[in-house]
């Protein structure tokens, strides 16, 4: 069973109740699954269905909510090939449009992009300032087609039974009021001492702001928006790790992507995900990554663009080998001021058998967990202090995974995760420490900063983006921009874009801007370029598959390595102008056959009653 589900079941057996979240009731869990039969999944009385993403002639990726008490029973159903708990994700201009050759005067002559008119730009993030003038038309009305606030009070028409959708007419009515946020019942959080300017508003502006407020337009200023505000749920149960954080979960993320494509209603659509965490297999086999891959393959003229992550210098990755009969120690540093829980995840070959031993900072060996087993230490009051899972044969890639959870309040210092080679064919392993903005633990130096892409940034069809500083003549890599490749050796990120000190819309100012840095700021530049390319393709009456779009962007980027692909720049610095030239010079393509009919036949989403 998935280690997170094991942990939830263990807590439930101790009588701990799981609180309600935006999309779940008390003692209910959001899950994503791979099933051989959608009908059988929907027939389970335990399941409140979400979306279904079938693969023609194969299995389906589904989401849903199930009672914690029924986790084990549902996992044992013969048609349930894989069942995963929701996993948390977190948030992570002038120089941008100049460097990427997307200013109108830098685009190739004869283009018909019209600023991305007719294309939908989807943003899944936190904080949409629909009132900022960069997202309004000349008459003051909104360019935002819809906002789905997943934490909003549900209505009879809420997608998948939760959250609140605000339609364009409601947004326009609110814009006529003195306080549009109060009138609509939704708005970005006001600035605080440590958090100024909403992440989602900044991302929106880079991708497709029109500059009516700030004076500087984003990449696709005539596109329209669909925004999904990720819900503040679903992983933490209680305690300090719950407070002061804004989380979405992977189930809600996948449902957000489906919602946006549905709202695009056949129009070209590029979706931006400037989100991520550190854990996972990093080989593109998570069910969320597989689901997004399927969604962009189902129809032409779709793209999902994802930030590479900002973890290059965070000390969150380690790798090595362990010999048969040997052992190796992985030092894990928990800072003295870290009162939060900490999580490490390690992946190794399916043919190997490694035992894991946890050694406390004082040198005491606390417990050893053999392959295929779990181990747990509790406090005198019965509270879980340490939980270790050594799971064999992950159903989505056949590899083995070790998960170590240190709950908050344990001693600080140098912990050791000791691996013992019980039976070894390969011996290779990779480990990641989960992201924790309130108290990040790290591996000990010397650090291995390779393979630091985010947990949802290793799919096969998504476009992953690294960051560089476009303000400096040598366009250096941003110090934080994560490094590939994937754990299975594929070349990601695909491209890079300006993400350093980017000035873009400042929420709740009406027309102001603020500087932010991150691959979160690089990804929307590429999302905007995708919108321009898709608009040009539409004008040429051409459908672009995701494979064709990825190829155009990769082959027209500006290489930053003599070897071609670079582990942080990707294939190079993206060029919107060169991508459009490539498309404009291409011969008309034959009509594209897609998997849309197959998806529709499989029942793309379930119903709630």
Grouping H, G, I as helix, E, B as strand and the rest as coil, residue 198 is coil
pLDDT digits (tens, 9 = 90+) for 302-329: 999 999 999 999 999 999 999 999 999 9
Instruction: Tell me, rounded to whole angstroms, the distance of Cα 545 from its chain centroid.
Output: 22
The pLDDT of 12-21, averaged and rounded, is: 81
The pLDDT of 212-226, averaged and rounded, is: 98
376-398 burial: b if 16+ Cβ within 10 Å, else e: beeeeeeebbbbbbbbeebebbe
Quick check: 599 pLDDT over 50? no
Residue 248's pLDDT is 38
| Residue 470 main-chain phi, psi, to 5 deg | -80, -5
Which residues in the chain are classed under CATH 3.40.50.200? 90-312+455-585
pLDDT digits (tens, 9 = 90+) for 46-56: 999 999 999 88
* Confidence band for 174, pLDDT divided at 50, 70 and 90: very high
Average pLDDT, the chain: 91
Closest CA to 316 of 491, 448, 466: 448
Q: CA 369 to CA 390: how far, in whole Å?
A: 7
Which residues in the chain are classed under CATH 3.30.70? 3-86
Residue 594's pLDDT is 52
Quick check: 595 pLDDT over 60? no
Query: Per CATH, which fold does 3-86 belong to?
Result: Alpha-Beta Plaits (3.30.70)
The pLDDT of 196-202, averaged and rounded, is: 96
Which residues in the chain are classed under CATH 2.60.120.1290? 317-443
Query: Per CATH, which fold does 90-312+455-585 belong to?
Result: Rossmann fold (3.40.50)
Quick check: 597 pLDDT over 60? no
| Predicted TM-score (pTM) of this structure | 0.90
Grouping H, G, I as helix, E, B as strand and the rest as coil, residue 155 is coil
Half-sphere exposure of 227 (CA within 13 A, CB side): 31
User: Class for domain 317-443, per CATH?
Assistant: mainly beta
Q: Percent of the chain scored above 90 by pLDDT?
A: 80
Using an 8 Å Cβ cutoff, are 176 and 170 in contact? no
Closest CA to 570 of 556, 554, 551, 552: 554
pLDDT digits (tens, 9 = 90+) for 401-454: 999 999 888 999 999 999 999 999 999 999 999 988 788 999 999 999 999 999
Strand partners, 429: 320, 348
Quick check: 558 pLDDT over 60? yes
Residue 235's pLDDT is 38
């Amino acid at each position: 069973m998935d280690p997170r589900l094991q942990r939830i079941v263990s807590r439930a057996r101790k009588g701990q109740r799981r609180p309600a979240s935006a999309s779940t009731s008390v003692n209910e869990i959001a899950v994503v699954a791979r099933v051989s039969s959608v009908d059988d999944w929907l027939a389970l009385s335990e399941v409140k269905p979400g979306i279904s993403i079938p693969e023609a002639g194969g299995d389906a990726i589904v989401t849903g909510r199930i009672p914690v008490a029924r986790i084990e029973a549902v996992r044992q159903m013969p048609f349930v090939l894989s069942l995963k708990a929701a996993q948390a994700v977190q948030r992570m201009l002038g120089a941008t449009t100049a460097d990427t050759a997307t200013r109108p005067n830098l685009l190739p002559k004869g283009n018909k992009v019209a600023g991305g008119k007719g294309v939908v730009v989807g943003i899944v993030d936190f904080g949409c300032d629909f009132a900022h003038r960069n997202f309004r038309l000349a008459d003051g009305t909104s360019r935002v087609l819809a906002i789905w606030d997943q934490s909003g009070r549900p209505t009879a028409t809420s997608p998948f039974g939760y959250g609140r959708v605000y339609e364009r007419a409601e947004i326009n009515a609110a814009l006529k009021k003195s306080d549009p946020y109060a009138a609509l019942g939704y708005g970005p959080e006001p600035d605080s001492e440590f958090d100024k300017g909403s992440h989602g508003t900044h991302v929106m502006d880079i991708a497709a702001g029109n500059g009516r407020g700030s004076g500087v337009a984003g990449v696709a200023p005539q596109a329209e928006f669909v925004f999904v505000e990720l819900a503040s749920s679903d992983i933490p149960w209680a305690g300090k790790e719950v407070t002061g954080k804004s989380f979405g979960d992977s189930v809600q993320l996948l449902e957000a992507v489906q919602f946006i494509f549905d709202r695009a209603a056949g129009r070209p659509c590029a979706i931006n995900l400037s989100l991520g965490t550190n854990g996972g297999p990093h080989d593109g086999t998570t069910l969320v990554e597989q689901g997004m891959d399927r969604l962009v393959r189902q129809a032409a003229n779709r793209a999902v663009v994802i930030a590479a992550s900002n973890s290059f210098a965070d000390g969150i990755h380690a790798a090595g080998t362990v010999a048969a009969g040997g052992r190796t120690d992985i030092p894990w540093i928990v800072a003295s001021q870290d009162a939060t829980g900490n999580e490490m995840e390690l992946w190794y070959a399916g043919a190997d058998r490694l035992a894991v031993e946890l050694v406390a900072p004082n040198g005491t060996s606390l417990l050893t967990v053999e392959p295929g087993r779990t181990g747990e230490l509790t406090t005198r009051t019965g509270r879980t202090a340490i939980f270790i899972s050594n799971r064999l044969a992950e159903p989505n890639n056949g590899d083995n995974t070790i998960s170590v959870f240190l709950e908050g309040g344990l001693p600080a210092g140098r912990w050791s995760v000791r691996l013992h080679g019980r039976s070894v064919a390969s011996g290779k392993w990779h480990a990641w420490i989960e992201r924790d903005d309130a108290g990040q633990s790290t591996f000990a130096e010397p650090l291995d900063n390779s393979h630091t892409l985010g947990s949802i940034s290793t799919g096969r069809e998504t476009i992953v983006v690294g960051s560089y500083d476009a303000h400096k003549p040598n366009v250096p890599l941003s110090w934080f921009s994560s490094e590939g490749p994937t754990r299975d050796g594929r070349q990601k990120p695909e491209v890079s874009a300006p993400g350093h000190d980017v000035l873009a819309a400042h929420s709740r100012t009406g027309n102001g801007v603020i500087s932010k840095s991150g691959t979160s700021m690089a990804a929307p530049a590429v999302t905007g370029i995708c919108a321009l390319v898709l608009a040009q393709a539409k004008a040429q009456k051409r459908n672009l598959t995701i494979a064709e779009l990825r190829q155009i962007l990769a082959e027209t980027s500006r290489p930053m390595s003599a070897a071609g692909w670079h582990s942080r720049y990707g294939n190079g610095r993206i060029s919107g102008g060169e991508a459009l030239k490539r498309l404009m010079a291409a011969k008309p393509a034959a009509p594209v056959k897609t998997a849309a009919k197959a998806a529709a036949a499989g029942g793309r989403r379930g119903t709630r009653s």
